[in-house]
Structure 1
């Protein structure tokens, strides 16, 4: 039986600390950031020291959120890229640079999130691990041949045959492992650029290639990032985080 107090007490005794990184660039800030942060304060790693790192090109518009004790928010200005695909891919370099310059000195764990999500239930210390990956809600029951891996042999993200399909909306682990992932993905993204190649699902394609080679130590079920449009699934009993409604035609123009 799942006992959340077991995990919480373990990490409290170990003085575990968590940095949460999230990118809120352009119209994504106004559309999603307030809901993301306020819901995180209700459900994310309660009882542990947490600092939110918000990367944005609009630092003056980051909302003033009421935070619990031992919880902090830091705004990190970034440059907005002209294409949303580049925002998605270049976040790996930003994450790595921030881990190197700051996070590794203060936090044991780093979790990286997309902003267009809302916490709906406990997302606690049971999710912490050395290397954490998330099963994609749309593919966790699918046959491997239906996975949207990058099948282009010219790409560094190429996968001929895999095992799971991971969702890049959430990944995490110790700061060292997250930095290793980010560095590997960024390197392969840049090698693809030199070859005039772009992976099918951008950083997610490279993340899947990384986890194919470097298996995660902790695998989160889709209840940790569920798409309500899928409907009811009997094996998803608790929705801990849900996809927010997507309005790409407005947000990515």
Structure 2
């Protein structure tokens, strides 16, 4: 064998090995990036909505380009000037507590408009509670997420009784029929299951954020994107000043909703909570699993799904907390710290409505 052949022979062997290893990898990579699979799990939710459609031609990267917005004039934030000194505005885990005077809605709107967010508002209208729908929807059109795309998801056993309300552009009513239950307690206990099921089947494809709200309420002041976060809970109007030992948590250790007397951050109301679709699904699914485990053990948490919601928020801290401005009952008076009453209870006879 000549010297040239001797040098070339090992290179031929290495070349064949390189082809055998490298080409299959190239084919696999091509298949993976052209529909065989997806690498979207680590992307923010708002990006995932557009990723599959745009990834082939690279237009997905256009979402990263700067969006030109009109100039804004507003007072400069001051590092040494507290926005509110009469209330707490931050939790120990750095979640903001939203009160009037703690945010600039114009700045927030500029940020959220860039993302073109879509919000789903989930409302249960079971049995006689359907009578609250007209006022709820009319006031929501005046005060809730004005200027944004909103789907009103009305879960009801009486679809024919859903009123016809004039809606702004980009907003729609989606009526979803669900079964009723003999006891009002069972209606409450089944909410988490219903939310998790519809989130997986439908909501995930249609909106970016989900907000669950009680129907026997009305909006009376601005409620906008300042509430949006991965997860948010609302301070219960009856307990926002109380010590944890006075919270009406589920105290029986046998329950999945159990919270010990020396545990608990705040008492959250089930009448107004939400977050991204992904996070609400996780919340609802875990609460439902806890409810079903309790049921198998013949236990019913003291405040039904609200008890399980509080247990969830104990272990999975909400990333934003709403003050009682966002869930109030005028029968409790108007304390000085409450500058706004944004979402308030409608006077009613509970026994009559629940019967």
Structure 2 distance, partners of 1:143, 1:102, is 40
Residue 246 of structure 1, CA deviation: 3.2
Matched, 1:241 2:343: yes
Structure 2 distance, partners of 1:9, 1:35, is 30
How do residues 214-233 of structure 1 correspond to structure 2 at under 5 angstroms?
214-233=316-335
Give the corresponding residue for 2:121.
Answer: 20
1:92 to 192, 196, 199: 192
Secondary structure of 2:269's counterpart equals coil
Residue 192 of structure 1, CA deviation: 0.2
Structure 2 distance, partners of 1:163, 1:71, is 36
**1:95-134 Cα shifts (integer Å, max 9, x gaps):** 1111111111121100011101100000001011110100
How do residues 98-177 of structure 1 correspond to structure 2 at under 5 angstroms?
98-160=198-260, 161-177=263-279
Structure 2 distance, partners of 1:236, 1:126, is 17
Structure 2 distance, partners of 1:11, 1:225, is 23
Structure 1 distance, partners of 2:348, 2:193, is 25
Structure 2 distance, partners of 1:78, 1:38, is 23
Structure 2 distance, partners of 1:16, 1:103, is 13
Structure number with greater Rg is 2
**1:58-116 Cα shifts (integer Å, max 9, x gaps):** 00010000000000001001100111111111011111111111111121100011101
Give the corresponding residue for 1:182.
Answer: 284
Matched, 1:6 2:129: no
1:78 to 153, 165, 178: 178
Q: What is the aligned-residue RMSD (CA, Å)?
A: 0.8
Residue 252 of structure 1, CA deviation: 1.2
Give the corresponding residue for 1:52.
Answer: 152
- Number of aligned residues: 252
Structure 1 distance, partners of 2:273, 2:253, is 25
Structure 2 distance, partners of 1:121, 1:38, is 13
Q: Which aligned segments of 4 or more residues in structure 1 are displaced greater than 2 angstroms?
A: none
Give the corresponding residue for 1:68.
Answer: 168
Structure 2 residue runs of 5 or longer lacking an equivalent are: 1-100
**Bigger relative contact order, structure 1 or 2, given CA contacts below 8 A and separation 6+?**
1
Secondary structure of 2:344's counterpart equals strand
Structure 1 residue runs of 5 or longer lacking an equivalent are: none
Residue 49 of structure 1, CA deviation: 0.4
Give the corresponding residue for 2:83.
Answer: none
The TM-score with structure 2 as length reference comes to: 0.70
